[in-house]
Amino acid sequence: MALNLDLVGKEWEGAGRRWTSTDTILYALGVGAGAEDPSAELAFTTENSHDVAQQVLPTFAVMLGGRAAMPPLGDFDISQVLHAEQSVTLHGPLPVEGASRIRSRVVGFYDKGPNAIAVIEGTVTDADSGALLAEVRSGTFIRGEGGFGGERGPATPWERPERAPDHTVTYRTRPDQALLYRLSGDRNPLHSDPWLADKAGFDRPILHGLCSYGFTGRALLHTVCDSDPARFGSMSVRFASPVLPGAELSVLIWEDGDTCRFQTTAAGTVVLDRGVFTKRV
């Protein structure tokens, strides 16, 4: 097994994704919208409610990219791969339906001792108008692929504020949350197949990191953006611990002007860490 280190710095461009009104609704349901009160988030879960225009949850942007025509990052078992970090920057509300193009770049492979992290960033544009929709950046944790003598990667300072959170938002995930979320496009069997989950060292399939990310994005949207996608700027996190479907997620938010720091916990364990959110003004 080996990483494809020659990919560092190279770029690829190609089709991203075509989506419909139904896709954006399915994504919203997949990250818990309407689960506790079906009438509370109709702008994101319906397309034909009286006097309610359909809108798109901003974190749907992470589903619009892909990796264009990029070759595989290396030759390794999918059971050894986990999502390590994710960020997204929005340039305005996402259209309810459309098509995207993506320009992707491998930022680097970072050596974390026995393990490795691959970082990829992409620019998502509207396929028809060319308008910039979002910028995305993700880190993939690959077990057993470190030790190749590379750099450890940049360190970004982050400290939990020494005061109680300004807001705490709690959502409960469904036992079948991963089965619902995977319909938005992430069909990694780690989140549905007990055999693969056991091979990866888990008692049962775990929730997608990006599903927890979407739940957290909803909390930030409704709490600090007055539920207005136009005010949703950027959101970055590090995935700290796996989440089992059915868990209760609590999002702890500390406001500082147009910037927030946040963590998401499950049963007292931090599962999304080093969170930074900025509002668009």
Neighbours of 240 (CB within 10 A): 17
State the alpha helices, DSSP H only, in 142-200: 177-181, 194-199
Distances (CA, A) of 58 to 31, 70, 132, 276: 12, 25, 14, 15
Active-site choice (191, 208, 226, 256): 191
Structure tokens at 222: 């409704």
Expressed in angstroms, the distance from the first to the final Cα of the chain is 47
Q: Is 83 a catalytic residue?
A: no
Q: Which amino acid is at 75?
A: D
Distances (CA, A) of 48 to 9, 22, 25, 40, 53: 45, 12, 12, 15, 8
Active-site choice (186, 228, 256, 258): 186
Q: Is 186 a catalytic residue?
A: yes
Handedness of CA 195, 201, 205, 207 (dihedral sign): negative
**Residues acting as catalytic residues:** 186, 191
